[in-house]
Structure 1
Amino acid sequence: MTLKSIAILLHDFNAGGTEATALRLAAEWIAAGHRVTIIAGAADGPMRERVPAGADVHLLSPPVPRSALSRLRLGGAMVPVLLQVAPDVAYITGNFHFWLAPAIRRALPHLPIVAKISNPLLPDLPAPLRAPARAALRQLTDAIDLFVAMSPELAARDAGWLPGRPIRVAPEPNLPRDHRPLPRAVPEGAPHILAIGRLEPQKDMALALRAFADLRAHQPARLTILGDGPDRARLEALSQRLGIAADVAMPGFVGDVAQRLSRAACLLMTSRYEGFPAVPVEALAADVPVVTTDCSPVLRGLIATPLHGEVVVDRRPATLATALTRAIALPPVSGSIRPASAAPYSAPEAARRYLDIFDEAIALAPLRCK
């Protein structure tokens, strides 16, 4: 069977990395001649504007907006649309959407389901909890035919939680086709530190503020946090308490990230955990050094030398502030060394790899249904 039609399953158009990369892949698959259908539970979110031309969008009616239990209903609600569209493969864009698979498998037993592992499958657990957690994960994901990890390091990590399950590797499409970063234009005056991410506990922007406060106590600097989310009010209050509000900007979601990267002295990432974070790749592609917490196994391969920045194991603000001091003193132009680390993560290469994985899932489907 030749792959012709791909269904991308989304809860909504939230401004997250999984949604952004799924839409970037969709554009490449459409360009390659495939039909792409995006099935979403609701139209909410700024990524709705980034749906590529040529994609068919099916919004559920009535909608299924995000809530504590909405994922339990979303898979079943998508079944009628999947029956109508009849795709060759269904693509689940990340861990958040794994909950869709069981209901879809029950209704469409022959439909191949491929799912990306976008974050650690399970947190670090005490030994007595690991076996029951693995059993629960196996039950949740049993309907998924193939998993996609975003790097060999992540595939090795995830294999421990999914023993015997097929995990393939595809690079993240962090960089769009013909990506051309703007020339570096680091302004005179206080160095400008950039942080990018949703304002929620995973990203731990409070740590970014505390690290910046330690840095700011020793030298002039500015911090801009791009993104929005439920932690905004708490972070604004913390900025005031730390006495750094005059040097901190939180403009929310913006459309000029490339321009801001071109003027940044470094990127700061303070996440508690990540799968394959897109923002450090975008920063390195723009020749911006990165200071990050040790939140993903892939980071040490990306940030390979002191010229790239630092991966900081110690989450104390003072330690991050020291790393920031070193990063903002680095040359603003690395002679292509930093961009070379980001080069493999292009949308065309990632899209081609995913098409190979979809073909494999289609070939495996008859064996699963026997």
Structure 2
Amino acid sequence: MTKSRRLVFHIPALIGGGAERVCVLIANEMARRGHEVTLFVWNGQGPNRELVDGRVRLVSLDLAAEHGRFGKILTLKGVFRTILFLRREQPDAVFSALDFANALMAVALLLARSRALFFPSYHAASQMKVGGLAYTVVNLLDRVTARRSTKAISVSNGIGQDLVQRGFEGSRVVTIYNPLPSPARRSHERYAWEDRLAEMGEGPVIITLGRLVAVKDHRTLLEAFSRLDPSRGARLVLFGDGPLRTELQDYAQSLGLSERVLFAGYVNDPAACYAAGDLFVLSSRTEGFGNVLVEALAAGIPIVSTDAPHGPREILKDGTFGTLVPVADPGALAQAMTSALDASHDIEALKRRSRDFDVTTIGEDYERLLAP
């Protein structure tokens, strides 16, 4: 292990997202390894706050946020206060997550004249196809971040290739997969959604976890589910919340699925979610990594996933540990779901694969970044 360092981990907010959870888990692990760790956020409210280890110092600017987003005035205020924070704390290294936060942290480090090592991490492929002034600003921020970073962390090889295309030097991009959170159930009390699920019948349970946003493509999942043989009695549970919840509920009703689909909302207890499932399905159009796939492997649940760029194929080893289907193809997804429900599966092999993403293993990769 390297000598103890003063480390700052930065994520804008602690809302219930995968990147936010990863940031907290890595901060916890580095504190466990003896480093002096500060988790620096602009807004400290949200489900992931519950996961912060007592050895990690949480510093929040308490700026108002809506779904993890800040307005222009508060963003400028946040950058100014971040500069003051960096000047005061004088960290040895700064880790940040999410594209825009990475860029703002790079600017703050430069303006604070900080000599800290800087490791921005990227959890999604660039989707910016813009022109005019917006294109100029995005490119400028990328160049600033690339120049200031010590190493850019990509959560999959595909994201790493994307970063190189965006102007990052290949030698300064390193792929470190996201860690697996603790598999333990956090509450022994029965959740209300478990009672609602039991009232829906006795058939196999198909689950998915993720924000209810367009990129997760729950519409394709709902359409695919509607094509399953009704005599099977399968039930579908969507764990997660987001702006498309009402729209998706209406779509499920239009497909005649209201009695077979449960919108459980965000549940900050993944182990309880996976314990309910017989099959896990990911219908995303794009994924930087796919934390939920690793969690499903650890729970020993068979998996069907779209072959979304970039994470699923890497996690599932080209389909060795789960079925890959084309993106936005409800027919192929329905067929794969049917086959997976009918097939036998090597549950122990799935669990063994998940151990490649153990937080202690991933912590070693982060530790190596700090080595002189």
So what's the TM-score if we normalise by structure 1? 0.84
* Structure-2 change in CA distance of 1:125 and 1:63 (3 Å): closer
Question: What is the CA distance between 1:189 and its match in structure 2?
Answer: 3.7
Question: What is the CA distance between 1:195 and its match in structure 2?
Answer: 0.7
Give % identity: 23
Residue 99 of structure 2 corresponds to which residue in structure 1? 95
Matches of 1:255 and 1:135, distance apart in 2: 37
Is the CA contact 2:313–2:319 (under 8 Å) kept in the aligned structure 1?
Answer: no
SS in 1 for 2:111: helix
* 2:79 is the counterpart of 1:75: yes
- Pairing of 1:225-264 with structure 2 (within 5 A): 225-264=238-277
* 2:357 is the counterpart of 1:345: yes
Residue 167 of structure 1 corresponds to which residue in structure 2? 173
SS in 2 for 1:38: strand
Is the CA contact 2:96–2:102 (under 8 Å) kept in the aligned structure 1?
Answer: yes
Is the CA contact 2:184–2:271 (under 8 Å) kept in the aligned structure 1?
Answer: no
Q: More displaced, 265-274 or 165-174?
A: 165-174
Residue 292 of structure 1 corresponds to which residue in structure 2? 305
Residue 191 of structure 2 corresponds to which residue in structure 1? none
* 1:269 maps to amino acid: L
Is the CA contact 1:197–1:226 (under 8 Å) kept in the aligned structure 2?
Answer: yes
Residue 334 of structure 2 corresponds to which residue in structure 1? 321
Q: 2:88 aligns with which of 80, 84, 102?
A: 84
Provide structure 2 residue ranges, at least 5 long, that are not aligned to the other structure.
186-197
Is the CA contact 2:287–2:311 (under 8 Å) kept in the aligned structure 1?
Answer: no
Residue 312 of structure 1 corresponds to which residue in structure 2? 325
Answer 1 or 2: higher relative contact order, Cα 8 Å, separation at least 6.
1
- Pairing of 1:129-168 with structure 2 (within 5 A): 137-139=142-144, 141-164=146-169, 166-168=172-174
Question: What is the CA distance between 1:265 and its match in structure 2?
Answer: 1.7
Residue 123 of structure 2 corresponds to which residue in structure 1? 118
SS in 1 for 2:227: helix
SS in 2 for 1:115: strand
* 2:367 maps to amino acid: L
* 1:287 maps to amino acid: G
SS in 2 for 1:340: helix
Matches of 2:260 and 2:278, distance apart in 1: 15
Matches of 1:320 and 1:354, distance apart in 2: 36
* Structure-2 change in CA distance of 1:305 and 1:67 (3 Å): closer
* Structure-2 change in CA distance of 1:251 and 1:275 (3 Å): same
What RMSD over aligned residues (CA atoms) do the two structures have, in Å?
Answer: 3.0
* 1:172 maps to amino acid: N
Matches of 2:80 and 2:247, distance apart in 1: 36
SS in 2 for 1:245: coil
Residue 19 of structure 2 corresponds to which residue in structure 1? 18
Question: What is the CA distance between 1:226 and its match in structure 2?
Answer: 0.5
Question: What is the CA distance between 1:300 and its match in structure 2?
Answer: 2.2
* 2:360 is the counterpart of 1:355: no
Aligned residues: 351
- Pairing of 1:6-85 with structure 2 (within 5 A): 6-60=7-61, 63=64, 66-67=69-70, 69=72, 71=75, 73-85=77-89
* Structure-2 change in CA distance of 1:264 and 1:317 (3 Å): same
* 1:299 maps to amino acid: P
Is the CA contact 1:289–1:307 (under 8 Å) kept in the aligned structure 2?
Answer: no
Residue 204 of structure 1 corresponds to which residue in structure 2? 217
